[in-house]
């Protein structure tokens, strides 16, 4: 694929990546390299009961001054503020998040508050931090969010039933330790859902208004990896090779979308997640093919290449028909890994879709959608088709 010689873009990827089975035990050395002396582990209520957190705590030794384990699957600003207060009492100078996207994003929020002071709500928005925040090492236990290498955190305001975006290059973690052993125990449904989150990152990076060559290369490779290894990881959770490949794919996807951005899939998913509690990866999975069909006439060439990456034979086909195959491939793929196919299956109420459409139009991700959207009625139609 040829790119316009006049194309201007910036690709940023500052995170140090450490990969390999057993590498979680290297976290102590990474803390030392970052000049950390008092590390706080940030994790969730379930993981803290497992050996995964113990492995990290033992590796940190005396450098670990505490564990904050109040993170929930849909983390909220009140949790971040509570964790920040706890961190202040301990005098922590570095954070180590162990978990999925919620734990990682909670730690990002805590890094803001522990460095800048005040409450998390004061910092919502784009590029308002004005300087570095506390060092942050990530050890993911899921393969999906890519938050280990991104500049953003999405955290729910439970009172307002909305998700707040915190986006700043200073939030990009310093180190990501990708240890396949840390993902072995992930249940099938969560493996599938987080994997589809990664796939949606790849696809949205490719069709974004801000797509560019380096992100494209990563995203297309990520699609092929996920197509091959996600079904294997779902089928056999103990497959270390598949688990490792999915960790790499999720991180690749994170690097791609962190530079190219995401679009309407994420905007729509954020809103049904905030209003109805639909897990993010599941919401993305359901909405993705419908959003592709909505956007099809804006970039059929890109969708035809996505269809190819998903294993469809589209050579010689009309470009629009070839692009449609991307949606077809996704429906087939999500069925094989046991994902829900409609919003009604995940307890979304049709009566709430109009408000979700209004909210989605205000989501920052909508700006990067390949087809500009100005009318919530257009979004509502997509929701209704997915219902």
Query: Across residues 123-146, what is the average pLDDT?
Result: 97
pLDDT of residue 162: 83
Categorise residue 316: left if φ over 0, alpha if ψ from -120 to 50, beta otherwise: left
- Calculate mean pLDDT across residues 244-273: 98
For residue range 165-190, list pLDDT tens digits in order.
999 999 999 999 999 999 998 999 99
pLDDT for residue 90 is more than 90: yes
Check whether 2 has a pLDDT greater than 80: no
Q: Residue 244 CB: number of other CB atoms within 10 A? A: 21
Can you tell me whether residue 355 is helix, strand or coil? helix
Residue 163: pLDDT band (50, 70, 90) is confident
DSSP structural state of residue 127: S
Q: Is the pLDDT of residue 159 over 90?
A: no
DSSP character for 76? B
Handedness of CA 284, 285, 290, 293 (dihedral sign): positive
- Counting residues of the chain whose pLDDT is more than 70, the rounded percentage is 100
From the options 3.10.110.10, 3.20.20.10, 3.40.50.1970, 1.10.10.10, give the CATH code of 16-183: 3.40.50.1970
Q: What is the pLDDT of residue 25?
A: 98
CATH 1.20.1090.10 in the chain is located at 188-386
Q: Is the pLDDT of residue 40 over 90?
A: yes
* Average pLDDT estimate for 255-273: 97
Helix-helix angle 213-235:188-207, to 10 degrees? 160
- Integer-rounded Cα Rg, in Å, for the chain is 20
The pLDDT, as a whole number, for residue 39 is: 99
The Cα-based distances of 384 to 155, 261, 379, 380 in angstroms read: 26, 25, 9, 6
pLDDT of residue 75 exceeding 80, the answer is yes
Q: What is the mean pLDDT of residues 233-241?
A: 98
Q: Which CATH superfamily is domain 188-386 in?
A: Dehydroquinate synthase-like - alpha domain (1.20.1090.10)
pLDDT-derived band at 161 (thresholds 50, 70, 90) equals confident
- According to the model, what pLDDT value does residue 160 have? 80
Q: Is the pLDDT confidence value at 5 over 90?
A: no
CB 47 within 8 A of CB 53: yes
Nearby residues of 79 by Cβ (< 8 Å), 6 or more positions away: 70, 71, 72, 106
| Confidence check: pLDDT of 158 > 90 | no
**Ramachandran quadrant class, 99 (left: phi over 0; alpha: psi -120 to 50; beta: rest):** left
Which residue shows structure tokens 């490792």?
244
What's the chain's average pLDDT? 97
b/e map 95-125, b = 16+ CB within 10 Å: bbbbbbbbbbbbbbbbbbbbebeeebbebbe
CB 182 within 8 A of CB 50: no
Q: Show Cβ contacts of residue 298 under 8 Å, excluding neighbours closer than 6 positions.
A: 207, 370, 371
CATH 3.40.50.1970: which residues of the chain?
16-183
Torsion of CA 60, 75, 243, 111, to 10 degrees: -40
Spatial contact of 297 and 322, defined as CB atoms under 8 Å apart: no
Kindly report the pTM of this predicted structure: 0.95
Helix %, strand %, coil % for the chain, to 5? Answer: 60, 15, 30
Whole-number Å distance between alpha carbons of 329 and 51: 38
Mean pLDDT across the stretch 88-98? 99
Strands 16-19 and 175-178: parallel
């Amino acid at each position: 694929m040829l790119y316009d010689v006049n194309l201007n873009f910036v690709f940023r990827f500052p995170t140090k990546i450490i990969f390999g089975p057993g590498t979680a035990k290297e976290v102590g050395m990474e803390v030392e390299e970052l000049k950390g002396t008092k590390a706080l582990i940030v994790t969730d209520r379930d993981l803290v009961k497992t050996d995964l957190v113990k492995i990290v705590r033992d590796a940190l030794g005396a450098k670990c001054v505490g564990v904050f384990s109040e993170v929930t699957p849909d983390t909220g600003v009140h949790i971040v503020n509570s964790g920040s207060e706890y961190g202040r009492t301990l005098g922590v100078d570095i954070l180590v998040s162990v978990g999925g996207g919620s734990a990682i994003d909670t730690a990002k929020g805590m890094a803001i508050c522990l460095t800048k002071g005040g409450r998390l709500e004061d910092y919502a928005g784009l590029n308002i931090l004005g300087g570095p925040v506390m060092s942050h090492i990530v050890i993911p236990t899921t393969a999906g969010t890519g938050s280990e290498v991104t500049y953003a955190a999405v955290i729910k305001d439970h009172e307002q039933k909305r998700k707040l975006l915190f986006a700043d290059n200073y939030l990009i973690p310093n180190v990501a330790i990708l240890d396949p052993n840390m993902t072995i125990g992930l249940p099938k449904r969560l493996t599938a859902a987080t994997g589809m989150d990664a796939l949606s990152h790849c696809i949205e990076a490719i069709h974004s208004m801000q797509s560019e060559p380096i992100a494209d290369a990563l995203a297309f490779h990520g699609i092929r990896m996920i197509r091959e290894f996600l079904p294997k990881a779902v089928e056999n959770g103990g497959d270390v090779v598949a688990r490792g490949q999915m960790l790499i794919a999720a991180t690749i996807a994170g690097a791609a979308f962190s530079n190219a951005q995401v679009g309407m899939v994420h905007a729509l998913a954020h809103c049904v997640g905030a209003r109805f509690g639909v897990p993010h990866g599941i919401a993305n999975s359901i909405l993705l093919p419908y959003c592709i069909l909505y956007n099809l006439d804006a970039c059929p060439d890109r969708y035809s290449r996505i269809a190819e990456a998903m294993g469809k034979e589209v050579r010689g086909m009309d470009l629009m028909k070839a692009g449609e195959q991307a949606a077809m491939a996704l429906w087939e793929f999500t069925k094989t890994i046991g994902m829900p196919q409609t919003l009604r299956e995940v307890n979304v109420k049709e009566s709430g879709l109009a408000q979700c459409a209004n909210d989605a139009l205000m989501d920052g991700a909508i700006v990067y959608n390949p087809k500009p959207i100005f009318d919530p009625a257009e979004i509502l139609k997509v929701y209704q088709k997915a219902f």
